[in-house]
Structure 1
């Protein structure tokens, strides 16, 4: 399999974390690209977005949540791991709920960052404030629900939330948003996992290209 990704994309990082947590990293070749300019990506994905996973038969799978679900099934079927998405009941709903919140938080963070790069006369203060409120409200919800994001029983929702929080720090290093100490302590514990140390956000450079055979 092949995974097209960008090192600044939180959705790419979520999938790359999932790969490692599922023990599938040696089965996937990770290909760094610029989704804005690389024609190879659009040839596989009409949306020209990362992450995009290419299966052995050539089928392209889009959207990080769909990719993670597929990889979870592959890992379970192959015996690589017991999976990172609970299969039944409230545990499954809880993991998917947290993934949904994190995905929305990451999207709002990215949109706010993109709008902030525009000339002042080309910005919408209303839209920017709405995105900022979405980010901060998500952080508040994470604090309130931290007890259900236990480090010893991590799942896809846990990993998604952590990626989302570090994406906020990556895009807003001036700490524009208030991430409480309790949440930062939790982040520090979780970020020691190899899946996170190997997928740190950064601007692209030549040494990023990585193949896993």
Structure 2
């Protein structure tokens, strides 16, 4: 592409939402145009560097090569797919709505996982709400059960919904190994393996030294 000005993305290597954007960029050939900016998004101690571009103070936040900020991951992924002329999202029709709905399911798994983690890793122990944590873990399980019962969803050409579910499963491996989702949902484990083994999904990224 003629424009060589780098886009910038506020980056955390363990954020599954940032990972969604990086996998998307890899899929559409734009990953080399992304400059990774160190970020420390936190629900209490907020990162003022992010807030300067995104008033929500969340990652991912993308600053395009013309200086405009985009957020959240859903917007950024669609932007990158469009910019790179990718095929991660159909322009219209049933496959578009299926991909977007599956993206919402993957994001919902991540929302539940992050909220449960914040309750244990951020909230003071005396203020933790066990029922809240259990409710979020149950939302993860009901979502995984749905995917277990619908392996045909993984037979589609790779799209943004499958990408998001893959990032959700990656995050469960990272933060919730005790859920043992592969053992508890074996049909899902088999069906999702081609997604998890994609080159883009196998990539790791880190901030420059």
What are the within-5 Å matches in structure 2 for residues 142-153 of structure 1? 142-150=147-155, 153=157
What is the TM-score with the length of structure 2 in the denominator?
Answer: 0.86
Shift of residue 210, structure 1, vs aligned partner: 3.6
Q: Residues 210 and 145 of structure 1: is their aligned pair in 2 closer, same or farther, counting only changes over 3 Å? A: farther
1:172 is matched with which residue: 176, 179, 182?
176
What are the within-5 Å matches in structure 2 for residues 49-64 of structure 1? 49-64=58-73
Q: After superposition, give the CA deviation of every residue in 1:117-150 in whole Å (9 maximum; x if it has no partner).
A: 3454311122112111111011011112220222
Q: Residues 105 and 90 of structure 1: is their aligned pair in 2 closer, same or farther, counting only changes over 3 Å? A: same
What are the within-5 Å matches in structure 2 for residues 34-183 of structure 1? 34-36=40-42, 38-76=47-85, 81=86, 83-117=87-121, 118-150=123-155, 153-175=157-179, 179-183=184-188
Aligned residue pair count: 198
Shift of residue 64, structure 1, vs aligned partner: 0.4
Match of 2:207 in 1: 209
Match of 2:3 in 1: none
Following the alignment from structure 1 to structure 2, what is the Cα–Cα distance between the partners of residues 87 and 199? 29
Shift of residue 186, structure 1, vs aligned partner: 3.1
Structure 1, 33-42 or 190-199: larger mean CA deviation: 33-42
* SS, match of residue 178 in structure 2: coil
1:196 is matched with which residue: 167, 191, 201?
201
1:95–1:155 Cα contact (<8 Å) kept: yes
* SS, match of residue 3 in structure 1: strand
* SS, match of residue 177 in structure 2: coil
Following the alignment from structure 2 to structure 1, what is the Cα–Cα distance between the partners of residues 174 and 192? 14
* SS, match of residue 58 in structure 2: coil
Q: After superposition, give the CA deviation of every residue in 1:169-208 in whole Å (9 maximum; x if it has no partner).
A: 21112236564122222333322222122137xxxxxxx3
- Structure 1, unmatched stretches of 5+, are 201-207
2:166–2:201 Cα contact (<8 Å) kept: no
> Which has the bigger relative contact order, CA under 8 A and spacing at least 6?
1
* SS, match of residue 128 in structure 1: helix
* SS, match of residue 204 in structure 2: coil
- Structure 2, unmatched stretches of 5+, are 1-6
